[in-house]
Amino acid sequence: MKFFIDTGMVEEIKEAAKWGIIDGVTTNPSLIAKTGRSQADVIKEICSIIDGPISAEVIATDTEGMLSEAMEIAKWHDNVVIKLPLTEEGIAACAKLSEQGVKTNVTLCFSPNQALLAAKAGATYISPFIGRLDDAGHDGMALIEEIRTIYDNFGFTTEILAASIRNSTHVRDAAIVGSDVITAPYGVLKALYKHPLTDKGLAAFLADHEKANK
């Protein structure tokens, strides 16, 4: 299972990179807006920190506009993945980019049929938004499970990228149901390390070692 960090903040990415377990980065227009910088600047800097897939989202809503933005974004770095919204226009752009060998991440997926469309269009990644579904009273993790079944039924190679992850339970459950990738904010990833029994156990080991070596 791959771990992506979901942020535009380069300081968070630099910290997370030290852990040695981050495979890639996802951003979106809201995350980029929080940085107060241009998308091009942020994405280029991220590409210099993490050697893996870095998703950058298009703003155009028509297929031609998405394709010309994608061509521009793709020039920034070989690791850039073009993030496209799950609309008719986005799926058409995805199909064209897939034909050209450009990596894509189809975002804002909220149903199994939408995920099926993305796979048909040859998407590299599909991003189902777990947290937003949970917030709306639906079961986000059930969607990941359904997509896993559909993709396995037909051997689709599109990777399931569980997104809109809000807590460590989401990470655990996404791993259990077979998501290929999770993308999570810095705080959620950091929380994965924590267990009170680890802290307690380590304190006891260190105290015993100290006593034995006086």
Q: Looking at 63, 114, 164, 179, which residue binds ligand E4P (CB under 6 A)?
A: 164
83 is catalytic: yes
Q: Looking at 39, 127, 158, 179, which residue binds ligand E4P (CB under 6 A)?
A: 127
* Active-site position among 75, 83, 103, 194: 83
When asked if residue 163 is in the footprint of ligand E4P (CB under 6 A), the reply is yes
Q: What secondary structure, in 3-state letters, does the chain show? A: CEEEEECCCHHHHHHHHCCCCCCEEECCHHHHHHHCCCHHHHHHHHHHHCCCCEEEECCCCCHHHHHHHHHHHHCCCCCEEEEEECCHHHHHHHHHHHHCCCCEEEEEECCHHHHHHHHHCCCCEEEEEHHHHHHCCCCHHHHHHHHHHHHHHHCCCCEEEEECCCCHHHHHHHHHCCCCEEEECHHHHHHCCCCHHHHHHHHHHHHHHHHHCC
When asked if residue 158 is in the footprint of ligand E4P (CB under 6 A), the reply is no
Please count the residues of this chain forming the interface with ligand E4P, following the rule CB under 6 A. 12
The set of residues, in sequence order, having a beta carbon less than 8 Å from that of 123 and lying 6+ positions away, is 94, 98, 104, 105, 106, 158
Least distance in angstroms from the C-beta of 30 to ligand E4P: 6
Report the C-alpha gap between 187 and 166 in whole angstroms.
9
When asked if residue 26 is in the footprint of ligand E4P (CB under 6 A), the reply is yes
Q: Output 39 or 127, the one with its CB closest to ligand E4P.
A: 127
Q: Looking at 28, 63, 114, 179, which residue binds ligand E4P (CB under 6 A)?
A: 28
Stretch that binds ligand E4P, among 23-31, 114-122, 137-145, 167-175 (CB under 6 A): 23-31
Q: Output 63 or 183, the one with its CB closest to ligand E4P.
A: 183
Of 49-108, which residues contact ligand E4P (CB under 6 A)?
107
Q: Are 147 and 119 contacting, i.e. CB atoms less than 8 angstroms apart?
A: no
When asked if residue 156 is in the footprint of ligand E4P (CB under 6 A), the reply is no
When asked if residue 125 is in the footprint of ligand E4P (CB under 6 A), the reply is no
Stretch that binds ligand E4P, among 46-54, 91-99, 127-135, 186-194 (CB under 6 A): 127-135
Q: Which residues are catalytic?
A: 83
Site residues for ligand E4P per CB under 6 A: 6, 26, 28, 31, 107, 127, 129, 131-132, 163-164, 183
